[in-house]
Amino acid sequence: MRIIPAIDIIDGKCVRLTKGDYSTKKIYNESPLEVAKEFEAAGIEYLHVVDLDGAKASKIINHKVLEQIASKTNLKIDFGGGLKSDKDLEIAFNAGANQITGGSIAVKNSAVFENWIEKFGAQKIILGADFYPDNSGGKIATNGWQEESALELIPFIKGYQQKGIQYIICTDISKDGMLEGPSFDVYSEVLTAVNDVKLIASGGISTFDELPKLAAIGCEGVIIGKAIYENKISLKQLEKFIVAGL
């Protein structure tokens, strides 16, 4: 299972939010590059970068930060936040992103998102399946998690798998930034219902012990944010996990 630390960016700084609420912003470092270099020094190969300014503006904003991290580290970066047009994607890829994540666009303009899969290739495009849990697994949310759609999580994923999607970041919004543990049951349900997808767990990671459990369920990757920044999981622990090849 791939370990993928998260760097969320507002005004060029490394921040974290709780449940996507901008009023809960906490700045952890003025330099996202410095943070990225610390991750790389711990043997981490992957990075999840979210342009929170871009998510608000519905267009890419912090591509210079992306370019800086990509040019000064060897991290493989997936980048998201407000990407809405082919132009946004071209800027992101030219700035050094290995993959991009589309969430709201996949709900609100499926024709554009499907075209991205075809134009850039399924290896380059990640489906952002951000959900609020309910009795049916969950309802997909959009627009920086401010709006809940009528779409159900598993049919949403299945629909895009049929269009070629392989990578899915599955985020339980109710758990994001809460340090209360991830949605093991939902991820198990998704992986039982949908075969041959690379599911990346996101939201609520709080302790190191949760990582082997996610690997055992079959998650292809895990995004870890606040647990690292609040020292709930150390980079040394992550380094050992990676070396062990779990």
* pLDDT, tens digit, 9 for 90 and up, residues 48-106: 999 999 998 999 999 999 999 999 999 999 999 999 999 999 999 999 999 999 998 99
Kindly report the number of other CB atoms within 10 A of residue 147's CB atom.
Answer: 12
pLDDT value at position 235?
98
Closest CA to 177 of 202, 195, 158, 142: 202
Measured distance CA(173)–CA(151) in Å, rounded = 15
Mean pLDDT of the chain: 94
Tokens matching residue 191 = 């992986």
CA torsion angle for 158, 56, 112, 139 (degrees, to 10)?
20
Measured distance CA(69)–CA(104) in Å, rounded = 25
Q: Lowest-pLDDT range, 63-67, 82-86, 154-158, 176-180?
A: 176-180
Kindly report the number of other CB atoms within 10 A of residue 237's CB atom.
Answer: 17
Give yes or no: 8 in active site. Answer: yes
Phi, psi dihedral angles at 221 (to 5 degrees)? -155, 170
Annotated catalytic residue, options 8, 51, 78, 176: 8
Annotated catalytic residue, options 51, 130, 172, 176: 130
Burial of 34 (0-12, 13-18, 19+ CB in 10 A): exposed
Measured distance CA(72)–CA(116) in Å, rounded = 27
CATH architecture label of 2-244: Alpha-Beta Barrel (3.20)
pLDDT value at position 150?
78
Give yes or no: 130 in active site. Answer: yes
pLDDT band (50, 70, 90) for residue 138: confident
Phi, psi dihedral angles at 79 (to 5 degrees)? -125, 135
* pLDDT, tens digit, 9 for 90 and up, residues 109-134: 999 999 999 999 999 999 999 998 87
Domain boundaries, the chain: 2-244
